[in-house]
Chain A
Amino acid sequence: MNHWIVAPIVLPAILAPFIIMVLRFHLDLQRIFSVAGVVALIGIALTITAQAAGGDIQVYELGNWPAPFGIVLVLDRLSAMMVLLTALLALPIVLYAIASGWDDRGKHFHALFHFQLMGVCGAFLTGDAFNLFVFFEVLLIASYGLMTHGGGSVRLKAGVQYVAYNLLGSTLFLFALGTLYAVTGTLNMADMAVRVAELPADDTALLRVGAVLLLLVFCIKAAVLPLHFWLPASYASAPLPVAALFAIMTKVGAYSILRMYTLGFGPEVEATQGLVGAWLQPAALVTLAVGAIGILGAQHIARMVAFCAITSMGTLLIAISLFTETATAAALYYVYHSTLATALMFLVADLVMERRGGAIVPTAPMPQSGLISALFFVGAIALAGMPPLSGFVGKLLVLDAARDAPDANAIWAVILIGSFVTIVGLARAGSLIFWKSHDAQYNTETDPDNEEEAAPAPAPEPNPGLAFTAVFAMAIGLVLLTLFAGPALEYTAKTAEQLFTPENYIAAVLGGDT
């Protein structure tokens, strides 16, 4: 067995308690170990991605119990690339959190951060549905701590809502898994896929209920429209570096939809025919539309970026809901792009909020306005999907993949108009926040939100150099994703091909006896 597969889970699982128990009172040591841990995680992620790139599906049997009796971790191209994305995202965020002093505004930031990474990596790697639930809970409970990190009554109230909503989601998840177990008698995803395919066609009522409940749970995580209410308030009230890390959490929902519904409950499986695409696609279109309107209407930069996250989930789920190989390849490229772009915008929003508050109104210039506005510009171009950055490539691919779909007109219209509204919204925010004329007189007295702006202060970060390096690293990541779009697309195309031949996955997990 290849023990690298379990390493992305074991490393944070050991590091986080170590930070709590041994380094509790030593912030400097915590920072060193935390950064070292994230760097090591990148190394591990690169290793397993290289191993998965060949196309073998490797299985790690926990406790050496063979599937379907034991829990298995499965490494294929999709899970490897998602783990790599998690690790690559975590490094700039942890550096930014250190440089901006966010990790010093409450206790146990680094430990919670690593628990969160453990949950996310576990959710990407596991091949067992109940284990997926457990890893969801691991990442959620860490996210509760991170979301309320630093305290404050508004953040805590938003935290209560966030926790309550997610507890409800967890309950639904258990109902869904219980129903599926009652029908299929297994929780192993591959085994479940086999049993679903064998189910007689007139006995699928319960299974369909379970599949729809499961889709609902993943849609809550992915913030698809009727279930997105938790996202704007939570992300906007969370510490913004944490919100940047949460950019990967909505993708966990998208990943789970992709995994479960290409493997077992896909549109071509008779038992669950007409369930996923029929519901997911209109919901994704509305998500994109409402997200774009939210960007236009937001009064606060953090809320605006939260709506950007919703918009990008809309685009991503449109691509996923097509359930074709080319659309999935486009969706996987878009996952990388939208995660990095959303996280970049959250960090830029934090730079802005630390200097002048987050309200989208004209105020006196802030320190380092030029650098920040350049970063905002990069992030806005990427998010809106304008050339030359990766958002353009991603949206082009999604549009191209949707060309032959039955609802191509609706998809094209929503994506293009949504992008236009996004551009308008981001341009409005950018010009109100950053665009200053030198002789303008700012009437700071009439603006109660910005008392501290009267005297422009130096940069509030303890270490602005490192903070900007971290944000620039994220921007460079976007540029690299654009430059190396060719190889990246080759990889995602192969990943999609692997996803749409689930027989190989099932054979790898269940061994030769299927």
Chain B
Amino acid sequence: MEALVASAVGVMTAAGIFLILRRRTFPVILGLSLLTYAVNVFLFATGRLALDAPAVLNKYKEVPYTDPLPQALVLTAIVISFGMTAVIVMIALSAYLSSKDDHIDMNAHDSVDAPGEDA
């Protein structure tokens, strides 16, 4: 169980890092999404892994339970990363449409000189 979760986080992080080092925006965005999946799974594991346990305490008897807080954190993280991915897709799309070029790096002629002039 631990090995499975750990290797899942590891593989997703590795693939994410590989993808964000690509030159075009599409793989970079995919890489960022993979990294957010990796961090979400990682956050689940921070409350220790427990199988078949509810996320609530039982006040009548001692039963195994899983830590509910990481689940709340993951929920927040999912919402935020989903929104952020949507934002970067929109900005990348409009950058691509306005410059006809989806490289993530700036070309030599993309100087900062007068950035607003082609607006």
Contact = CB atoms under 8 A, between A and B. Distances in A.
Interface of A: 105, 130, 134, 137, 140-141, 144, 148, 150-161, 163-164, 167-168, 170-171, 174-175, 177-179, 181-182, 187, 233, 236-237, 239, 299-300, 302-303, 353, 357-359, 449
Contacts of B88: 144, 160, 163-164, 167
Contacts of B115: 152, 154-155, 158, 236-237
B104 A160 contact: yes
9 contacts: A151-B94, A151-B119, A153-B95, A154-B115, A157-B106, A178-B42, A182-B48, A233-B112, A353-B114
B84 interface: yes
Contact of B112 (A144, A179, A236): A236
B114 A358 contact: yes
B46 A178 contact: yes
A170 B43 CA distance: 13
Contacts of A236: 112, 115
B10 interface: no
Contacts of A164: 20, 28-29, 32, 88, 104
Contacts, number: 143
A239 B95 contact: no
B76 interface: yes
A150 B114 CA distance: 12
Interface string B79-98: 01101110110011011001
Nearest to B107: A157
B95 A159 contact: yes
Given A178-B42, A449-B113, A158 B106 contact: yes
Contacts of A168: 20, 32, 35
B17 to A, nearest CB: 9
Contacts of B94: 148, 151, 156
A357 B32 contact: no
Contacts of A237: 112, 115
B55 interface: no
A151 B39 CA distance: 32
Across the A-B interface, give the 3 residue pairs with the lowest CB-CB distance, nearest first: A156-B95, A153-B99, A152-B119
Nearest to A137: B80
A156 B112 contact: no
Contacts of A358: 112-114
A300 B111 contact: yes
Given A164-B32, A179-B46, A236-B112, A134 B104 contact: no
State which size class the interface on B falls in.
35 or more
A181 B69 CA distance: 10
B5 interface: no
A182 B47 CA distance: 6
Interface on chain A toward B: helix, strand, loop, or mixed SS? helix
Contacts of B92: 160
Contacts of A140: 84
Contacts of B47: 181-182
A201 to B, nearest CB: 22
Nearest to A173: B39
Contacts of B20: 164, 168
A357 B113 contact: yes
A94 B82 CA distance: 30
Contacts of B29: 164
A167 B95 CA distance: 18
A358 to B, nearest CB: 6
B91 A170 contact: no
A152 B116 contact: yes
Nearest to A152: B119
B87 A163 contact: yes
A372 B58 CA distance: 70
A178 B98 contact: no
Given A170-B84, A181-B73, A358-B112, 9 more contacts: A105-B116, A130-B73, A151-B116, A153-B98, A160-B104, A167-B84, A233-B112, A237-B115, A357-B114
Contact of A161 (B69, B77, B104): B104
B118 interface: yes
B81 to A, nearest CB: 7
Interface centre among B87, B104, B111, B112, by most A CB within 10 Å? B112
B46 A134 contact: no
Nearest to B84: A167
A174 B43 CA distance: 8
